[in-house]
Structures are given as structure tokens and as C-alpha cells.
A and B are shown apart, each in its own frame.
Chain A
Amino acid sequence: MTSAALFARTTSSARIRLRRRVLLCASCGLVALFALLSVALTTGEMGMPAGTALRALVGLGDPGDVLVVQQFRAPRAFAAIVAGAGLGVAGCVLQRLFRNPLASPDVMGVTGGASLGAVSLIAAGASQTLIPVGALAGGLLSALLLGVFAWRSGVAVTRLVLTGLAVQAGLAAAVNLLIVRFPAELAGSALQWTTGSVYGRTWTEVWGAGGAMVAALAVTLVLHRRLAVLDLGDDSAGALGLSTSAARLQLLFVAVVLASLAAALAGPVTFVALAVPHIVRFLTGPPTAVSLALAGLTGAVLLLASDLVVQHLLPVEGLPVGAVTATLGAPWLLVLMFRQSKPVHRSHA
């Protein structure tokens, strides 16, 4: 509906230019992803040429190479890709939904819920394989809390954002409580989880979360039309026959599922979901369904690159990838706030 209206107004040459630009960005993103993936598979304590690594990925060549690539490097790289894609799309949907450039799963309480879920399972002494399930459940639980608190004859944007902050604060307190009460070595692994890390992922986790992620991404693309109508504002969207509250809840739910799946795989990695929508908007202009897909690609590239920085470029061992994404995200955020504040009238005080 909106895209039709938009396209009717734009001239065909502008449309072609935009489309060409999106295509160019998408192919650049794919090339970058492929290059990063080959770096991730080839580098490490045991270096190997890219061809050997790719052959080892499908099970050919020296058994030692196959073991290293298939069991250690590939799951970690693919976990970063899947989680990054989920975070990117989730951030895109949330920012458009709330019309707020700072909305992201980090401030909505989803990451807090995922941390709490994972940390409680660590506390209960559950096996390593169950922890991602706990993170997923925690993320969904936080969304439920958010819905319960924020619902009041419809979902107003401001209330949802502020309630998200409250939910996040409460969940963070619970995580903090567990970390203080833990014995020291458990506290370390809990903290590692709550900062976000793709260290030690297995194929089971990657396939499970990856499958669910693909399904959730498909649902997001199907729901994209509603998102586009919501972009017009509540009144116009209502006049067009869309039930705004219902549509907003559906989209919110999908975004939360995406972010929770990402958190199940990589922990609550901050700032990817915040930064990706801005990068995509900067590159391709007004949002479309294609740019939503591009957001997934950008998120994957960003998280994989950050993980490579953690693994190979930093002198200290064992840093969580979340620390790098936060460090890269902070200046980004400052730029964002400064740029945003310019048009506001400043009193001559």
C-alpha cells in the first residue's frame, strides 16, 4: 500500500537508482560476509589456506584440518552470522515500530530477560546445552512482562519504551543478585554470558537457533506490509483499516523472538541492534522490505567482524564479543545524539 503510494510519487529514474544502490550494497555485504567467513575459518592457532579450509568445511582433506574447522571455527562463525542477522532485523523493526532511533532490544528488556534466563539455569546447575533455551525463554518472558505492564487500552509508544526501561532494570537487579550470590567460578561464567559471547557454540545450537531464526525472519518479511502502514502514523493506519494495536503487538512479538533467538546463541550482545538500522538507512535511504533483509546481512557482517576482532586482533584472551560491539557502538551513539540535537531550538542561555 505505502510502497505503491511512494513509488507513484517518485520518478522511475529515482526508483531505479535506489534499487541499483540497494543491489550494490547487498552484493558488497555478501562479498564482505564471505571474506570474513573465510578469514574466520582460516586463521587461528593453526593457519591454513582458504581453499583447504573450505574443503575441510565439507569434510575433505586432512582429518586434523577437518576437525578444527568443522568443530571449532565454523560453529562459532555461523553462530555470529545467525545472531547478527537476527539482531539487525529486530533492531530495524523496533526502531520503526517506536519511531525512536534509540529503541533496541537492549533498552526494551529483552536482553535483560535473556541474561536472567541463562543465569538462572547456570545457577540451577543445568547442562551447557540447556542454557540457550533458558535465554530464549527469558527473552520471551520479558516481552510478556512488557506487554502486561504497558497494555492499557492499546499500546502507546512512549509507555512501551519507558516500561521497557523498568523491566530491564528489574531483570538486571535479579541477574546482579544471582551473580553476587554465586561461588566465584560460576560468577565468571555467568558474567561471560551476560556480556555476550559466541565462544564454544556447537552445531546443535547453531542449527536449532538458525532454523528458528529463518522462520522468524520469514514471518517478519510477511508482516513488513503492516510495518509500512504503521509508518504512516496511527491515525492514517487506522483509517486504512489496520488495527494498529494488534499490528504493533504482532511486530513487537516477532522482533522479541528474533532478539531472544540471537541472545540464546550469542548472549545479550549490545549495540548491534542499535547501530544496524542507522547504517542501513544511511546506505539505502527510505526503508523497504529489501532494506530489512539488508539489515540482517549488515548485522551478520558486523557481529562476525567484531568476533574476529575479539579472537585475533586484541592482545587479551577471552574477552566477550559484547565488549567490542559496545566499544564500537558508543562513539556511534554519540554521533547520533549530536546530529539529532542540531535542529532542536536551543535557548540562548
Chain B
Amino acid sequence: MPNLSSRLVTATRRGAPTGVPFRALRHIPILLTGIGALALISALSLALGARSVPLSTVADALFGDAGGRDALVVTGLRLPRTVIGLAVGAALGVAGAVAQGITRNPLASPTTLGINAGAGFAVVVAIFALKLNDPVEYVWFAFAGAAGAALLAQSLARRAGDIDPVRLALGGTVLQLVLLSWTSAVMLLNQRTLDEARFWLAGSLSGRTLATLWPVLPWLLLGLVVALAVSPALNALALGDDSAQALGVPVARIRLAGGIAVVLLAGSAVAVAGPIAFIGLAAPHLVRPLLGGDHRLLVPGCLIAGPLLLLSADVLGRLVIRPSELEVGIVTAFLGAPLLALLARKVAR
């Protein structure tokens, strides 16, 4: 793995660590293109689905000029879904970038830190024990489970000492395996739990109302603010703990703040949409070749790339087996697995 970390380090050096002028201007065209693509995919997300609506009708419906069934579909179902997709995607993308920054590990992501599995286990236990049956009621259990698993995984990773991507990935995966098998065991205990939980566990944006988003939105925004605040310091962290210390960066405090940001962001994402894999892993890898390794650009870049990826997957899931639809969590896992295989080829020469 040495060539990997050194490549990351050189990338950051080129992108200037702390104290070197911040040249964002060069990247403005790329950022604008990203925002344009995001607007386009949001429009498509409003227009496409089991019942496709022309874009002009979408515009009319949004501004309240149109009535009828099409307008109702757009404002009642697709608008909340798109808004939730934007929020969840942004949270996952930024969480991925920060997780990879604080662990200095290109394979770190909310999923490999066990966050999704922890949330899944907590929700299934809640469904079993408290007989819940509405995604709005799962929110806080998912959040708590995600936080618990993330804290456990991060304490393990920190004890593992310096960067070893393979060990962290394997360790997180095994933690996930434990939680997943407990989840299955609880689901097998009664039929009702199985029936309720399997749909939530697939990870989906459909059938969520904005009422699911509001309670976690403050936490999500807080996470975003913390992530943006620590992003300059992540550049110094990429040089290694000792060098960062020498540059006067409070390494432990930055890592703690970054960890809190990851938990807040990924926890709120999973609470709203259920476990969705690979967005957090893929977004930073998509942005890095375009904007470079400077975290001051990488984190905002992921803020755009995350929702772009999530909404694209969601729209794709709606189109492949029309008039039915694939859960977005399943689409991202199918698309993400080859990506991980490609990364593995690149990382381990």
C-alpha cells in the first residue's frame, strides 16, 4: 500500500496544503458543469417514472399553474423524493470525503465503517420489540444505531494505528457481518418483522415524505458545517500525523471533529432513506480526478457529486423495470461493486 498513500500525499502537495494560495477559480467551470448536471438530473427525477410527465408540465406544476393528476404526481410524490435524494446524496458524498480524509484511506466510506449495518440492526430490533411500522418512526433508532456502530468501528480503526486500507476494510466488513447476521436472526424471529424490515433494509427513496427528513435536517446541516470547517485541516492530515502536527494542526481534535461530522451526515442519511451503499465511496473518487486532492475543493465537490450519483441511480432504478421500480440501494450496490473491483485493481498493483 505504500505507493497509494504516497500518491495521495503528492496529490495533496500539488493541490497545496495549508498556507498556499487557494486557486478555486481554475475549477469554476467544472463546478458549474456539476451544478448544471445536478439541475438536469433533478428535473429528470421530477419528470420520469412509472408515469412520465413532460418537462413543461413539471415546470407548471412546480409554479402552481397546473392541476390534474400529472401535477399531483410531481408535487405530491416526486418533489419530496427529489428533495430527499438531494439531501441524502449530499450527506453521503461529504461523509465519504471526510471519512477518507480522516482515515487517510481511499476505501473508507460510511458503509465500510459499519454505519449502515448498525442502523439496520437498530431499526430491525425496534420493529421487533416496539412493533413500529412506519419509516418516520424508525428515524431515531436508525440514527442511534448508526452512531453506535460508527463509534465502535472508529475506535477499532484508531487502535489499528496508522493506515492499512486492507485491515480497515476487512475489519469494517467483519463488523458488518456480525451486525447483519444479528439482523437476520431478529428478522427470523417473527414474520411481521421480516415483512416490515426487508423493504426498509434495501434502502429506498420511494414512499418517504418530507416528514421523514425534517427531524434529522438540523443534524445533517450541522454535519455539513463541521465537514466544511475541518476540510482545510484534512489537507495537512494527508501528509501524515507527524507532519500535520509539525504544521501546527491539532490532529486528534480534527480527527474527532471529522468523525463526528461523518456520524452526523451518514447517520441522518441512513435514518431518512435506509442503508444505501457506495455513494460515499464513489463520490470522492469521482471528484478527485476532476478537482485534485485539495480537500477545500474535494468536500464541496462531493456535495455536488453525491446527490448527482444518488439521483441518477434513483432515476435509473425507476426506468429499468417500469412500471415497477428497483430500490435505489440495490441499484447503487450493483453499480458500486464493479467500481470497488476497479479501485482494487488500481490500488493494489
Residues of chain A having any CB pair with chain B under 8 Å:
100, 102-103, 106-107, 149-150, 152, 156, 158-159, 161-163, 165-170, 172-174, 176-177, 179-180, 184-185, 187-188, 191-192, 194-196, 270-271, 274, 316, 318-320, 322-323, 326-327, 329-330, 333-334, 337-338, 340-341, 344-347, 349
| B160-202, CB < 8 A from A | 160-162, 166-167, 169-171, 173-175, 177-178, 181-182, 184-185, 187-189, 191, 194-195, 198-199, 201-202
A sample of 5 cross-chain residue pairs with beta-carbon separation below 8 angstroms, ordered by A number, consists of A169-B278, A195-B181, A340-B160, A345-B161, A349-B251
Asked whether B349 lies within 8 Å of A195 as measured between CB atoms, the reply is no
Distance (whole angstroms) from the CB of B325 to the closest CB of chain A:
11
Compute the total of residue contacts between A and B using a CB distance below 8 Å: 172
Known interface pairs A161-B170, A349-B241, A349-B245; A173-B181 also in contact (CB < 8 Å): no
Known interface pairs A177-B330, A270-B177, A337-B160; A107-B170 also in contact (CB < 8 Å): yes
Residues of chain B having any CB pair with chain A under 8 Å:
1, 107, 156, 159-162, 166-167, 169-171, 173-175, 177-178, 181-182, 184-185, 187-189, 191, 194-195, 198-199, 201-202, 241-242, 245, 251-252, 255, 277-278, 326-327, 329-330, 333-334, 336-341, 343-345, 347-349
Asked whether B156 lies within 8 Å of A170 as measured between CB atoms, the reply is no
Asked whether B198 lies within 8 Å of A187 as measured between CB atoms, the reply is yes
Distance (whole angstroms) from the CB of A232 to the closest CB of chain B:
21
Known interface pairs A107-B170, A170-B337; A347-B245 also in contact (CB < 8 Å): yes
Contacts of A149 in B (CB 8 A): 341, 344-345
Contacts of B185 in A (CB 8 A): 195, 319-320, 323
Asked whether B345 lies within 8 Å of A334 as measured between CB atoms, the reply is no
Asked whether A162 lies within 8 Å of B107 as measured between CB atoms, the reply is yes
Asked whether B181 lies within 8 Å of A326 as measured between CB atoms, the reply is yes
Asked whether B174 lies within 8 Å of A184 as measured between CB atoms, the reply is no
Asked whether A162 lies within 8 Å of B347 as measured between CB atoms, the reply is yes
In angstroms, Cα B278 to Cα A326, docked, is: 24
Q: Which of A156, A274, A322 contacts B349 (CB 8 A)?
A: A156
The main secondary structure of chain B at its interface with chain A is helix
Asked whether A162 lies within 8 Å of B188 as measured between CB atoms, the reply is no
Distance (whole angstroms) from the CB of B194 to the closest CB of chain A:
6
Q: Which of A168, A326, A338 contacts B178 (CB 8 A)?
A: A326
In angstroms, Cα B211 to Cα A132, docked, is: 45
Q: Which of A150, A159, A192, A326 contacts B182 (CB 8 A)?
A: A326
Closest to A324 in B: B185
Known interface pairs A194-B184, A326-B178, A345-B161; A184-B191 also in contact (CB < 8 Å): yes
Most chain B beta-carbon neighbours within 10 Å: one of A170, A180, A320: A180
Asked whether B194 lies within 8 Å of A349 as measured between CB atoms, the reply is no
Asked whether A191 lies within 8 Å of B181 as measured between CB atoms, the reply is no
In angstroms, Cα B175 to Cα A38, docked, is: 34
Most chain A beta-carbon neighbours within 10 Å: one of B170, B175, B194, B202: B170
Asked whether A100 lies within 8 Å of B166 as measured between CB atoms, the reply is yes
Contacts of A347 in B (CB 8 A): 162, 241-242, 245, 251
Contacts of B198 in A (CB 8 A): 179-180, 187
Asked whether A159 lies within 8 Å of B245 as measured between CB atoms, the reply is no
Asked whether A169 lies within 8 Å of B174 as measured between CB atoms, the reply is no
Distance (whole angstroms) from the CB of B39 to the closest CB of chain A:
29
Contacts of A174 in B (CB 8 A): 334
Q: Which of A158, A163, A338 contacts B341 (CB 8 A)?
A: A163
Contacts of A320 in B (CB 8 A): 184-185, 188
Known interface pairs A337-B171, A349-B255; A326-B177 also in contact (CB < 8 Å): yes
Contacts of B341 in A (CB 8 A): 149, 162-163, 166-167
Known interface pairs A162-B347, A180-B327; A337-B184 also in contact (CB < 8 Å): no
Which 10 A-B pairs give the minimum distances between C-beta atoms?
A170-B337, A344-B161, A173-B333, A162-B344, A323-B185, A158-B348, A166-B340, A159-B348, A326-B181, A166-B341
Contacts of B162 in A (CB 8 A): 344-345, 347
In angstroms, Cα B329 to Cα A169, docked, is: 12
Q: Which of A102, A176, A196 contacts B170 (CB 8 A)?
A: A102
Contacts of A346 in B (CB 8 A): 161
In angstroms, Cα B191 to Cα A340, docked, is: 41
In angstroms, Cα B340 to Cα A153, docked, is: 20
Contacts of A345 in B (CB 8 A): 161-162
In angstroms, Cα B102 to Cα A121, docked, is: 43
In angstroms, Cα B173 to Cα A172, docked, is: 12
Contacts of A180 in B (CB 8 A): 198-199, 202, 327, 330
Closest to B333 in A: A173
In angstroms, Cα B162 to Cα A195, docked, is: 34
Most chain A beta-carbon neighbours within 10 Å: one of B198, B326, B347: B198
Contacts of B160 in A (CB 8 A): 337, 340-341, 344
